[in-house]
Amino acid sequence: MDQKINKKSLYSYIIITFGLTLIVVGVMAGLQMKMVAGALSAQLVLAGLMFLPTIATIITRQFITKEGWATAGWHWGAFKNYLNVWLLIPAVFIIIYTLTYILGAPVDFSLSGFASQYGLTLPLPGPLIVLIIFLFTFLFTPFVNSVAGLGEELGWRGHLLPHLLPLGEKKALVISGLIWGLWHVPFVVLLGFGGYSNVWLGALFFIAMATFLGIYIGYLRLHSGSSILAGWAHGVFNSQAYGIWAMIFPAFNHFIGGPGGLVGLVVLGVVAWYSFRLLDQHNLKKISVNL
């Protein structure tokens, strides 16, 4: 693998991705669209925004650098990796929200607060609906969300991460995760993404969360060579983040609980640390060459 960073490819991707994102988010902010619960139009636009990193990758690779797709990780990898991700991420969320509850966040298994907020009449007892939705977000929605997740990951872990590898695997993981977190700042500050009461402080929390999560997803990319696996991990994470947990925890301090609060930072920090441990245990030279 070439030990020099392809600055033209790296900077082109970053400029295009951030430029397109700022344009769309600026329009959304002008239209007073907010990334809050119930704002369906904004959520749909957000799903579209997740494909901007792939669009930037296509523009960069096909028209600017003409470097092709050999390093993009466009293959599946081993099935066991997908199964491990499928089980690990929900377990991480169970830990995060158990700690969130211990720290005083109210939990509503009856879903009465959710039903009242949206004027709904529950067809089944709340706890049964909670179980059904949990199984739905575990068994079905990851396959849907991983499509949009891949829209991001072909950019962040498919293009950006390999172009940072000359710095070393760990530095590449941290920097790619940090850039990914910075990309979310306009969402947090201008659109209220993350539900923080102070958007600027919230942006710092979200950058930290994305960096830790990015280290884990980036490790998966390096270990398997697959950006598709990275997209799957992103989809499984989003299925949990925007699934049943938001319904049974209708109100809590987002700086303390949830994946984007202190609790989430600690838990995801452990996951990132363990990813580094695995990085040390595995010989990734062959994997890096295959990028």
Please state the domain extents for the chain. Answer: 7-290
Residue with tokens 């991001």, as numbered in its chain: 152
Write out the chain in H/E/C secondary structure: CCCCCCHHHHHHHHHHHHHHHHHHHHHHHHCCCCCCCCCHHHHHHHHHHCCHHHHHHHHHHHHHCCCCCCCCCCCCCCHHHHHHHHHHHHHHHHHHHHHHHHCCCCCCCCCHHHHHHHCCCCCCCHHHHHHHHHHHHHHCHHHHHHHHHHHHHHHHHHHHHHHHHHHCHHHHHHHHHHHHHHHCHHHHHHHCCCCCCCHHHHHHHHHHHHHHHHHHHHHHHHHHCCHHHHHHHHHHHHHHHCCHHHHHCCCCCCCCCCCCCHHHHHHHHHHHHHHHHHHHHCCCHHHHHHC
Q: According to the model, what pLDDT value does residue 215 have?
A: 98
| Burial class of 51 by CB neighbour count within 10 A (0 to 12, 13 to 18, 19+) | middle
pLDDT < 70 stretches in the chain: 1-2, 34-43, 283-291
pLDDT in tens, 103-158: 999 999 999 888 887 778 888 999 999 999 999 999 999 999 999 999 999 999 99
CB 284, CB 169: distance < 8 Å: yes
d(CA 157, CA 176): 8
For residue 43, give both structure tokens.
């959520």
Q: According to the model, what pLDDT value does residue 284 have?
A: 55
Q: According to the model, what pLDDT value does residue 43 have?
A: 66
Model pTM score: 0.93
Q: According to the model, what pLDDT value does residue 6 have?
A: 94
Size of the chain, expressed as the number of residues it contains? 291
